[in-house]
Chains A and B, each alone.
Chain A
Amino acid sequence: MPKTTTSMRRQLILMVSMVLICINVLALWGAHIYANRATKVSYDRLLYGAALQMAENINILDSKVFIDLPVSAFETLALSNSDRAFYAIMNSQYQVLTGYNDLPSIPFTQLLLQSTEKEKFIPIYYEAPYHEENVRFVALGKRLLEADKVNDVFIIVGQTLGARQAAAAEINRMALHFVSLFFVITLLLLLFVIWRVLRPLQAIKQAITERSPLELSPLETNVPSEIAPLLKSINYFMAQLDTTLERLKRFTAEAAHQIRTPLAGLNSQAQNAIDETDEALRQKQLQHILESSNVLTNTVNQLLNRATLTHRYQSHPFSPVSLDQLTKDTCRDLVVWALERGVEIEYVGDIKAAIDGDEFALKQMLQNIIENAIKYSPNKGLVEVELMSANELNDAAVVLQIRDQGVGVPDEDKEHIFEYFYRSPDNQASGSGIGLSIAKEVAEHHDARFHLKDNEPTGLIVEVIFPKRTLPKNRYPKPKGARL
């Protein structure tokens, strides 16, 4: 059971939510800044308006400043009804002519500085605490002209911040409502989208769970292009599994048959040997039993070998193999065994051949072919093993030839000798009938071809033709078709 990693859906939702939250927080922050700025500007205008209306009604009369404040100025201030308002009108000596006489931090210097530079006074806004509340003030100057006299007065109007804060809070609240609604709607839509996009995966899961465990035909579910490779892999995996199962089934059946028959023979031979009274005959029978047992052992070994190889095909990556060295080693290993049978092995050829492949499997192949050749060689026979580069064949890089001087194989048998457990009807030599088929499988596994030719004057030439194009390193080979 693989470990459950985090769910894709949950991750998507989490990320989408995080992105949404980020966006919404940004939006709220923006709205907050906007709200503060907008209310500041609009309420500052009210203040300025009130100050202007006051300034309008300040005149100079007989060298005296005459102030008749208009109601409208206060009505303007009253537009932010829940705020306190304070004001003062001061002359150029900073004496309060009317209004509050203790307004804080009035920026006279700034006002005067401006008045010298420009004819018109520019309002100056500032905030200061007054009567235990923060108050936003506007200070405005007015130049009163009479004859050749210049008289400046200052108008300071202040208001507490309640209305502007309430207005800003109102905008913020609206923004919050909007953003929350936006958030919910977007999230719902995205949840729907995520569900919609992930649905094909669900469909695959559904299709697989609904299958019987033995059904390995490809899935035909419609999926988006991004998921198609996954489906392809699943299908490929199932096909492989199917092949393996099929092969195993047939092989098991054949192997059972091949093992049961000699066992039954052994059994009856042993029975005969027990009953035999003639000592010489019994010795002969026991000799037979031993031979049969050897054949059986051989067969079982080959079967096990083959099982190992089959496993290797699917699990072992290719690595560089020095084919010439491997061939030489194999020949050397078999020399003694061959000499016991009165057969000589000769390695000819001097090329170096490096291919990518499975060394163990290749060795098995070589061993099987050479053993086979030795087995069918007559006494004092010669088995020639030659490795050559085959320039005359376009796609072949290396050709391995094993030539024996045996009886050879009739043409009608040539295509059969690689089949499992096939034995030529005329074949008297002992053998399992597996060796060559294993060799052929290994060759196919390495994209090599087998070729049988007749030797002159008699015998068989087994040719293994390795392609020039070697497989890329460390790639798992593709499985071959179930050709048993």
Chain B
Amino acid sequence: MTRSMGMFTCFFVWGLFTLSALAFAEQDSTGKEITVNERRVLSINGAVNCTVIDPLFKAFEAQHPDVTIHYTESNTRDLYERFLSEPETRADIIMSPAMDLQFKLANDGFALAYQSPELERLPSDSYWRNELFGFTYEPIVTAINTDILAADDLPLSREQLLNLIRKKNHLLDEKIGLFDIKKSGIGYLAWIYDGQQSRSYGRLLEAFGNHQAQLYTDTSSMLQALLKGQVFVAYNLIGAYSYQWSEQYPWIKTIMPTDYTSVIMRTAFIYRDAKQPSLAKRFIDLLLSPLGQQILANQSGLTPISPKAVGPYSRDALSKLPHGIFRPIPLGLELLIQTDDAKKQLIYNEWDNAMRPLSERLSSP
């Protein structure tokens, strides 16, 4: 999958802006449209589904009628690599759930420090150094197509999932969906955290390898596959999407593992050399404000970081669902290890060894 294919762009228009003008702006996204149309453009690069984050953009544009948000969506890993390799494409704000990659960028000095007044209201571990701001609180879940269960109970923990895999054995060959940790930042993040947290990590890896798990680059495609019956079990999905899916297709159950439930934060930072730093700051303010958090809780399906926001997707609502101990992945220097090349190589090697086709593994000495 090439980068240009894996990325699509959405625009949100408010006011008198015409579609043609938008198209013009898209072609000429170097900031020229500001002088042409006398409108300001806030550019955001994100790895957040644009339909999910849309209500927030609309709210921002409602507050600032002369501002257009120019949002480019891409996969977490692409977002990161493109940020480093193509400095000219860097947007004012970078949003991504791949906390480690975001952290690395902030640690390397790409983030603009901004003491948002909203930070006081938020948990102190939801931001780092006034540079990187966590704005969601999202469990990593397992989704199961209940068709596979037959008479069996829904596996609620990793232990039970392993038992189920053992029991169903060949029924699950090539029917387990996983993030490709080499391609998806979020998949890598969640997987390496499992490695740090779980005793069942080794057995899970072995079980996934033995059943030739299918690898995906994003949650949506994994859920699609689940719906189509291409896989029956999908491990380490982003909860918000999965729960929405479960609502739509009741036979797809979403489980927060009861041994422990990893929690990730979507994070945003302002690019150090942002073209519109003040607009970017105001967007961050909205994102972290009670209003922004409330919009997330009510409309996006993403669980907001603020425990005070109420709504169907609030933290409160989340904690009422069956779950294990919520273990938020700390937003701090610990994340640096995940970006370490040597470490990554070790993980990749381990992963490759487990995931290569069975025949290949059997033939090797």
Partner-B contacts on A (CB < 8 A): 67-71, 73-75, 77-78, 81-87, 89, 97-99, 131-133, 162
Check A69 against B129 for contact (C-beta < 8 Å): no
Instruction: Tell me which of B330, B333, B336, B342 contacts A68 (CB under 8 A).
Output: B342
CB-based nearest A residue for B109: A131
How many residues of chain B have a CB within 8 Å of chain A?
18
Taking CB atoms, residues of chain A closer than 8 Å to B129 are 82-84, 162
Check A69 against B109 for contact (C-beta < 8 Å): no
* Chain B positions 299-346 with a Cβ under 8 Å from a chain A Cβ: 330, 332-337, 340-343, 346
Partner-A contacts on B (CB < 8 A): 107-109, 128-129, 196, 330, 332-337, 340-343, 346
Sort A-B residue pairs by CB-CB distance and give the 9 closest, nearest first: A98-B342, A131-B109, A78-B333, A67-B342, A78-B332, A77-B333, A98-B341, A74-B337, A74-B334
What are 25 A-B contacts defined by CB distance under 8 Å?
A67-B342, A69-B337, A69-B340, A70-B337, A73-B337, A74-B333, A74-B336, A74-B337, A77-B333, A77-B336, A78-B330, A78-B332, A81-B332, A81-B333, A83-B129, A84-B108, A84-B129, A85-B333, A85-B336, A86-B107, A87-B336, A98-B340, A99-B341, A132-B109, A162-B129
Check A84 against B342 for contact (C-beta < 8 Å): no
Q: How distant is A84 from chain B, measured CB to nearest CB, in Å? A: 5
Taking CB atoms, residues of chain B closer than 8 Å to A162 are 129
Q: How distant is A198 from chain B, measured CB to nearest CB, in Å? A: 53
Check A68 against B343 for contact (C-beta < 8 Å): yes
Instruction: Tell whether A97 pairs with B128 under 8 Å between CB atoms, given A75-B334, A78-B334, A81-B333.
Output: no
Taking CB atoms, residues of chain A closer than 8 Å to B346 are 68
Q: How distant is A76 from chain B, measured CB to nearest CB, in Å? A: 9
Q: How distant is B170 from chain A, measured CB to nearest CB, in Å? A: 35
CB-based nearest A residue for B192: A71
Check B333 against A97 for contact (C-beta < 8 Å): no
CB-based nearest A residue for B343: A69
Instruction: Tell whether A84 pairs with B343 under 8 Å between CB atoms, given A75-B334, A77-B333.
Output: no
Instruction: Tell me which of B107, B128, B337, B342 contacts A71 (CB under 8 A).
Output: B337
Taking CB atoms, residues of chain A closer than 8 Å to B343 are 67-69, 98
The distance in angstroms between the C-alpha atoms of A81 and B342, with both chains bound, is 24
Instruction: Tell whether A97 pairs with B334 under 8 Å between CB atoms, given A82-B129, A131-B109, A133-B109.
Output: no
Taking CB atoms, residues of chain B closer than 8 Å to A98 are 340-343
Q: How distant is A66 from chain B, measured CB to nearest CB, in Å? A: 8
Q: How distant is B105 from chain A, measured CB to nearest CB, in Å? A: 11
Q: How distant is A177 from chain B, measured CB to nearest CB, in Å? A: 24
The distance in angstroms between the C-alpha atoms of A82 and B129, with both chains bound, is 5
Instruction: Tell me which of B128, B335, B336, B342 contacts A82 (CB under 8 A).
Output: B128
Q: How distant is B340 from chain A, measured CB to nearest CB, in Å? A: 5
CB-based nearest A residue for B335: A74
The distance in angstroms between the C-alpha atoms of A318 and B332, with both chains bound, is 95
The distance in angstroms between the C-alpha atoms of A69 and B339, with both chains bound, is 11
Q: How distant is A315 from chain B, measured CB to nearest CB, in Å? A: 82
Q: How distant is B192 from chain A, measured CB to nearest CB, in Å? A: 9
CB-based nearest A residue for B272: A132
The distance in angstroms between the C-alpha atoms of A97 and B341, with both chains bound, is 8
The distance in angstroms between the C-alpha atoms of A74 and B333, with both chains bound, is 6
Q: How distant is B143 from chain A, measured CB to nearest CB, in Å? A: 28
> Which residue of A70, A73, A78 has the most chain B CB atoms within 10 A of its CB atom?
A78
The distance in angstroms between the C-alpha atoms of A69 and B336, with both chains bound, is 10
Q: How distant is B258 from chain A, measured CB to nearest CB, in Å? A: 24
CB-based nearest B residue for A97: B342
Taking CB atoms, residues of chain A closer than 8 Å to B337 are 69-71, 73-74
Taking CB atoms, residues of chain A closer than 8 Å to B107 are 84-86
Taking CB atoms, residues of chain B closer than 8 Å to A85 are 107, 333, 336
The distance in angstroms between the C-alpha atoms of A305 and B279, with both chains bound, is 106
Check A89 against B334 for contact (C-beta < 8 Å): no
CB-based nearest A residue for B336: A74
The distance in angstroms between the C-alpha atoms of A82 and B346, with both chains bound, is 28
Instruction: Tell me which of B108, B332, B335, B342 contacts A89 (CB under 8 A).
Output: B342
Taking CB atoms, residues of chain B closer than 8 Å to A131 are 108-109
Taking CB atoms, residues of chain A closer than 8 Å to B342 are 67-69, 89, 97-98
New A-B pairs, 16, CB < 8 Å, besides A68-B346, A98-B341: A67-B342, A69-B337, A69-B343, A71-B334, A71-B337, A74-B334, A81-B128, A81-B333, A83-B129, A83-B333, A85-B336, A87-B336, A97-B342, A98-B340, A131-B108, A162-B129
Taking CB atoms, residues of chain A closer than 8 Å to B196 are 71
Q: How distant is B195 from chain A, measured CB to nearest CB, in Å? A: 9
CB-based nearest B residue for A67: B342
The distance in angstroms between the C-alpha atoms of A299 and B335, with both chains bound, is 120
CB-based nearest A residue for B347: A68
Taking CB atoms, residues of chain B closer than 8 Å to A68 are 342-343, 346
The distance in angstroms between the C-alpha atoms of A428 and B341, with both chains bound, is 141
The distance in angstroms between the C-alpha atoms of A79 and B335, with both chains bound, is 13
The distance in angstroms between the C-alpha atoms of A69 and B337, with both chains bound, is 7
Check B109 against A84 for contact (C-beta < 8 Å): yes
